[in-house]
Structure 1
Amino acid sequence: MTQYVEITESAAYHVKEMMAHNGEENAYLRVAVNGGGCSGLTYGLGFEENKSETDYLMTQHGINIVVSIEDAGVLEGTKVDYKESLMGGGFTIENPNAIASCGCGTSFRTAKKVGTPEVCE
């Protein structure tokens, strides 16, 4: 089975903390690609109670992760990590398919999918 997205141990730890805090221990972690941002695409991370028939399911570090069939090609090989810095901590996403990203640091595009760019302010 293809692992479209890799979740590091550090990211998994923080995802589990968020799930427990929100009372969503049995939810799926959805990793998605949405239209928007300066470069056309943005990432989405969120919790969902149900899995769709058109989702790929992966389990890593005790977390059930879903990726839609539509997003799988854009996300293949993507690594989600959690890093601490002097400014605090946060999730980072490294996608080998991204060929350009925005100066805002929140959007990207790939050779196969451009998305719907917005104007950055």
Structure 2
Amino acid sequence: MINKRPEIISLTNKALERIKFIMSKAPENTLGVRFGVKTGGCSGMTYDVSYTSEEKDNDEKIVRGDINIYIDASATLFLIGSEVDWTQDKLQSSFTFKNPNETARCGCGESFTI
């Protein structure tokens, strides 16, 4: 029996639909969307979502139909167990993260601490 390892993140249907939409508008050489973490903001870390045109050796790869989602290897431990959603209202729209590893989040919600 082969044990399949759980995926690093889960995606809501809204997030997956948004990724499909942005991939339909992506530059020609784009392989997928990359989720990562970078330093910044008042709490020290921010989520990073970007196009990627390369698959790195240590990336985690999630495939949903014809959509490829890559988790940057350096962000894996920070993102384990996170749920990614797409939220949209009259003033803004963005991917949102429910991350069980967060210990604090800044007042504006743009950055976090682990």
* Both structures adopt the same fold (TM-score exceeding 0.5): yes
Matched, 1:84 2:97: no
Give structure 1 regions of 4+ aligned residues with deviation exceeding 3 angstroms.
23-26
Specify which of 101, 109, 113 is matched with residue 109 of structure 1: 113
1:69-106 deviation per Cα after TM superposition (whole angstroms, max 9, x unaligned) = 32111100111111232435332111110010111210
Matched, 1:56 2:60: yes
Structure 2's unaligned 5+ residue stretches are none
- 1:19 and 1:25 in contact (8 A); partners too: no
Rounded Cα–Cα distance in structure 2 between residues aligned with 1:106 and 1:62: 30
Q: Which has the higher contact order (CA 8 A, sep 6+)?
A: 1
What are the residue-to-residue correspondences of 1:1-121 with 2, within 5 Å? 1-24=5-28, 27-60=31-64, 62-110=66-114
The CA RMSD over aligned residues, in Å, is: 1.8
Rounded Cα–Cα distance in structure 2 between residues aligned with 1:50 and 1:16: 18
Higher strand share: 1
Query: Per the alignment, in what secondary structure is the counterpart of residue 72 of structure 1?
Result: helix
**Number of matched pairs:** 110
Rounded Cα–Cα distance in structure 2 between residues aligned with 1:65 and 1:20: 14
Corresponding letter in the other structure for 1:59: V
Rounded Cα–Cα distance in structure 2 between residues aligned with 1:36 and 1:100: 14
Query: Per the alignment, in what secondary structure is the counterpart of residue 7 of structure 2?
Result: coil
Corresponding letter in the other structure for 2:41: G
1:38-92 deviation per Cα after TM superposition (whole angstroms, max 9, x unaligned) = 0110000011011100111112354211112321111001111112324353321
When normalised by structure 1's length, the TM-score is: 0.80
Rounded Cα–Cα distance in structure 2 between residues aligned with 1:104 and 1:70: 25
Q: Percent identity?
A: 31
When normalised by structure 2's length, the TM-score is: 0.84
Q: How far did 1:26 drift? A: 5.3
